[in-house]
A and B are shown apart, each in its own frame.
Chain A
């Protein structure tokens, strides 16, 4: 820890025994050197952290009035909406916060893909990020079940049923997950328990994520390492202020939905209480699961692997393939700014993800200009995996990257590699 000098005797007393003030200073204060050239795409990590905090706070408040029982869950949520003071506000923040959280984290991830933030020496940082998104998905899925509406119930039924595809022990796994022979009260209870637990696991993962970040500091838009103090500025006040401004813009966006379109991301069906005897005409997941849902449904029977099992494997592979990325991309240059070929394929990949989301929102037998969605989904799924497993390795070997600037300060001042500013 630094030997920063504190005047205040109380702070001094504490600092001597627990160096918490220098810890804060070195994490988000003036003692943390940050590349001076970060653009606004670097705002999204801190925004996601703030939304995680908002989710935990509103979630704890909701849990005070929520009843995890099949006979009361739906009504208890409506009580929160009607009878708890500002309960509607807490619920709408939590409900829309889920969507905002995914939106921010997806942007955060695409940022990483574009600027090569997953490359040496940030592989572990990236891998921890993949675990965070997996934990987020589990949390959001179980949270969606809690209000016990029609979509809640049927989403839980469809998704848990997927595990029956596991050979031999599939059915036993499903019974074990349910705590019975269908999605019922035990299922709701355990989902609530996990939904309360997992955000704190995410919190711990975020802590480790930041720990790894602080070892080698942030990557930056030109992807060139920090060469010395002339390349950096202290986190505080520069980035604290920039993050605060970004937070303001984001909050305007977020609060617009909370107050004026609170059900924009919601399915009307979920305002009908769960009924195991009535299957909804269409079961659609929340928008942030649509690409994964499209992948799940794209896989046909292949040899001895059933379509269901294949779909489950592909759906997990959809996220897990990101774990391999640091070793699939062999290009020494990080930022796509200096990788003309990769940059184009990045955007094709981005569009591919949008297409997958669009396919996920439609039934497989629906058609678009004569083409069944099933086939669009299959093509987009194949491309998704080909991007990581074939295109990225090939491009990274064949492409001739442009020469990045010598250093961050050289890039900022536009001068040659003199360094000093």
Chain B
């Protein structure tokens, strides 16, 4: 009996320690681990950082990268009001149609539209980027080992000069954290690459943190709801299991 209680506690303890999450190295390179507001069992996204991240995406990354899985209406999830969302959507143009004359036409985006993509197709994207394809960013944080840590490291991991003996290809850039170290994307951010609407000082690090937080949310928009529900479910299960254990003991008591 004592043993079973111990085992139960062990499982619970294990569950808690897992939540801390290991630092994953990509390709043998250690990623600097950062403190994100959204890790851990009680983690939530930093709203301010998310909203600044959206600004970074729209002003910098959106000229090359799509965000196809996201609709403008989803921005309600990071604290934008309906009117703000309408205004953000209206800045983008989407193709709609056919109209009554059978023609396709451009119109400002609506909240129900998916984020407008910078290029009509992959070939057009390659043509404007020296043959390299800027991948869609919706799931980027989930699609790389290290997640947000990797993204932050990538964005701040450029070196002007490659180490001695390393030959860079034409139009390529040296990046410590990219697989193979040669990346076709030029350093997209630098100090003051954007001017934050909320007055936060836009250091390169700050920008990288904000866009990473924003993209962590686009990859896992359910994260906050999931953790909130998870706490309730676990608490319920722990109480229920304790009661089941008590009943089990009671029933078995008279046996031996």
Residues on A lying within 8 angstroms of B by beta carbon are: 36, 40, 75, 78, 81-82, 88-89, 92, 233, 237-238, 241-242, 244-245, 247-249, 251-253, 255-256, 258-264, 268-269, 271-272, 281, 412-413
Contacts and interface: CB of A to CB of B under 8 A. Distances in A.
Contact of B143 (A251, A268, A281): A268
Interface size class of B (residues with CB under 8 A): 35 or more
Given A233-B255, A263-B142, A248 B222 contact: no
A244 B143 CA distance: 38
Interface stretch (B4-12, B80-88, B101-109, B202-210): B4-12
24 contacts: A40-B4, A40-B7, A82-B69, A82-B74, A88-B226, A233-B255, A237-B251, A238-B251, A247-B244, A248-B237, A248-B241, A249-B7, A249-B241, A251-B237, A251-B241, A252-B241, A255-B237, A259-B227, A259-B230, A260-B15, A260-B19, A263-B142, A271-B142, A272-B139
Given A259-B233, A413-B256, A241 B145 contact: no
A253 B244 contact: no
B238 interface: yes
A238 B255 contact: yes
Nearest to B41: A260
A36 B255 contact: yes
Contacts of A40: 4, 7
A249 to B, nearest CB: 5
A275 to B, nearest CB: 10
Given A244-B244, A245-B248, A259-B234, A252 B19 contact: no
B142 A268 contact: yes
A78 B218 CA distance: 11
Interface of B: 4, 7-8, 11-12, 15, 18-19, 21, 41, 69, 74, 135, 138-139, 142-145, 147, 179, 219, 221-222, 226-227, 229-231, 233-234, 237-238, 240-241, 244-245, 247-248, 251-252, 255-256
A256 B69 contact: no
A287 to B, nearest CB: 15
B232 to A, nearest CB: 9
The 10 closest A-B pairs by CB, nearest first: A259-B230, A248-B241, A271-B143, A256-B15, A88-B222, A245-B244, A271-B142, A245-B248, A271-B139, A241-B248
Given A238-B251, A245-B244, A260-B19, A252 B230 contact: no
B226 A78 contact: no
